[in-house]
Amino acid sequence: MNVPAEELPVVGEAARQVIREAKAAGVYRFAGGINAAMPPQRVDGDGTLSQGTYPQTKDFDGGFCVLRLPSREAAELWAAKIAKACRCAQELREFFDDPES
């Protein structure tokens, strides 16, 4: 996301408008931002703590949004709306529900 600081409020409002639209459509589940002030930390299976993150995600920032949608095509349309609002590319992933959660 390469947006001048003075344009961030406009981008933020555009993103919130897409979230409001998703809520009105009944597809919104949750969304949030990454707290850049809190550095990432890894916790290994044995409980060992390490500063940092996986090399492939070292540049991850911003946030995420989870929507419940009927098809991949619908997900692509919503991702395009979010990308337009945020003025940057979005990564689209499919999330599977755990039947016991």
Structure token pair of residue 36: 């850049």
- Give me the mean pLDDT over the 28-39 stretch: 88
Mean pLDDT computed over every residue of the chain: 89
3-class secondary structure per residue, 5-19:
HHHHHHHHHHHHHHH
- Give me the mean pLDDT over the 56-75 stretch: 84
Structure token pair of residue 18: 């897409």
Q: How far apart are CA 54 and CA 29, in angstroms?
A: 27
pTM for the predicted model, two decimal places: 0.77
Higher model confidence: residue 95 or residue 68?
68
